[in-house]
Chain A
Amino acid sequence: EVQLVESGGGLVQPGGSQRLSCAASGFTFSSYWMSWVRQAPGKGLEWVAQIKQDGSEKHYVDSVKGRFTISRDNAENSLYLQMNSLRAEDTAVYYCARVRYGSGSIWDHWGQGTLFTVSS
């Protein structure tokens, strides 16, 4: 069974940094693109970042470019999101999601999400 378990959520002050993690199991992690998608409280979905199987290609939404870095460790079956220069508008539930194989950038498995709040 595919499982994606996020961790690292919590409360951080504006301007601070945090790293989110996603532990993957139940599939060959190194064969899939992976993404982070977020959802601000009471709002819609927003794609944040995406990374290729070997980490050689990364894409970001404009609002996080230069502040967030997506990475992965295929030996540890883990996905990461390093978030710097945090702003109140980064407050959201952050989901780790697996890109459906061979179908383009859509997500067929999601984690349960981790809530991350930026506030003083």
Chain B
Amino acid sequence: TQLLEQSPQFLSIQEGENLTVYCNSSSVFSSLQWYRQEPGEGPVLLVTVVTGGEVKKLKRLTFQFGDARKDSSLHITAAQPGDTGLYLCAGRWGATNKLIFGTGTLLAVQP
């Protein structure tokens, strides 16, 4: 059973559009990471958030951690074809050292 739900599952947009991807859990995260995966490769880390309400920016990507640390979002401004890929959130809860991944959001940006 996946403890981390991501939405939407699939997203196909035109170049230049904005989008938001969500990651939700019923439990409080100790920390949460976002990864991006391209076909045939392993995921690559984009960001780590640990503090409730935290906002981090990485060029056109904005990551937000919910105040209660149960949810997170990834917003992409003016999407480009190079943003195409599978976006994954990964979380750790309490004292556990398991790192569990979400269900993933597959993004396709059309030129």
A and B are interacting partners = no
Give residues in B with beta carbon < 8 Å to A: none
Give residues in A with beta carbon < 8 Å to B: none
